[in-house]
Amino acid sequence: MNWETRVTKMLNIQYPIIQGGLAYLAYSDLAAAVSNAGGLGQITAMSLGSPEELRKEIQAVKLKTDRPFGVNYAIGQHGRPFEHMLEVAIEEEVPVITMTGGNPAPIFDMLSGVDTKKLVLVAARRQAEKAEELGADAVMVVGQEGGGHLGRADTGTMVLIPQVVEAVSIPVIASGGIGDGKGLMAALALGAEGIEMGTRFIATKECIHAHEAYKQKLVEASEDDTVVIKRSIGAPARAIKNEWTQKILQVEEKNPTYDALKDLISGEANMKYIYDGNESQGFGWAGQVMGRIKDVPSVQELFNRMIKEGEDIRTIWSK
């Protein structure tokens, strides 16, 4: 079956499936496995310690695959400077740069004249229009179901995707709540030309940095086991419900300031759970789609299954 869309052509990939940036989790093993399976894998730059660490990861991906891959830049209000990290990707001639989290204009300035595809992850129609104006090659659009940081307006994927498809002329990649062939086909039916998945890729064999307890939680928990934190400071983000996120919500109710929250929502607290499996001292991001995750396959197995499911759906539709 032909899976070609403007996204597969632009990114030079076989299937329109992109692995989203995954803070502290998306290293060369996962990125290369996704690219080798025919999608676009990515390294997450801003949770790496230094430009040299990023260079090492990029070079490791190049050893593990000769297919295109991306580097993701989440830049935010409280994030650290990204310029030196971006310089590395430019020097290493990374084929795809994705960005999210803040005003992407400074990234576009640095990438002016650089031969790379520029994709922006947005969570609202206006942000997608802005990304198109800045020169994005495509937008990834995340709905409220998604794991990690979300839009402030709570719009779900089902409504947001066709709204953005009708508002911009660049290709749209649907994100948030997708984890199988049904989600893939639904996204294409909404007018998207590709999908991005975050949570589903954490529960794969090649996401080697995620603790077994985190992966098991994704397998066992239901769609009701996530919670949105950080809404009170204007940065809503979806995580797995646990003691730690309860603490965060209590502080948000009493004293909704960044200073009061910063230790609870820090990268250290995130790593305590996702690397050490320590539920009482940290938290992990995940989307509602975890309710539909039932196993921890290899990335290749996941792709085989999704593509088969997608092809079966197309066969039914064509009858």
Ligand X SMILES: Cc1cc2nc3c(=O)[nH]c(=O)nc-3n(C[C@H](O)[C@H](O)[C@H](O)COP(=O)(O)O)c2cc1C
**Chain residues that interact with ligand X, rule: CB under 6 A:** 20-23, 25, 44, 72, 74, 100, 121, 142, 145-148, 175-178, 196-200, 285-287, 289
What minimum distance in Å lies between the beta carbon of 74 and ligand X? 4
Whose Cβ is closer to ligand X: residue 205's or residue 260's?
205
Whose Cβ is closer to ligand X: residue 58's or residue 317's?
58
Nearest Cα to Cα of residue 220 among 147, 292, 299:
292
Q: Which residue has the tokens 């020097």?
A: 91
Q: Which residue has the tokens 């309710």?
A: 291
Nearest-angstrom CA–CA distance, 34 and 23: 16
Say if residues 22 and 45 touch (Cβ distance below 8 Å).
no
What minimum distance in Å lies between the beta carbon of 318 and ligand X? 28
What minimum distance in Å lies between the beta carbon of 306 and ligand X? 13
What minimum distance in Å lies between the beta carbon of 145 and ligand X? 6
What minimum distance in Å lies between the beta carbon of 112 and ligand X? 21
What minimum distance in Å lies between the beta carbon of 8 and ligand X? 19
Query: Is residue 77 exposed (0-12), middle (13-18) or buried (19+ Cβ within 10 Å)?
Result: exposed
Nearest-angstrom CA–CA distance, 283 and 303: 28
- Long-range contacts at 153-160 (CB < 8 A, ≥ 24 apart): 153/123, 153/124, 154/236, 155/123, 155/124, 157/187, 158/186, 158/190, 160/123, 160/124, 160/125
Residue nearest to ligand X (CB): 198
Q: How far is CA 291 from the centre of its chain?
A: 18
Whose Cβ is closer to ligand X: residue 228's or residue 260's?
228
Whose Cβ is closer to ligand X: residue 38's or residue 287's?
287
Whose Cβ is closer to ligand X: residue 82's or residue 285's?
285
**Sheet of 226-229: strands edge to edge?**
148-149, 237-240, 226-229
Whose Cβ is closer to ligand X: residue 23's or residue 261's?
23
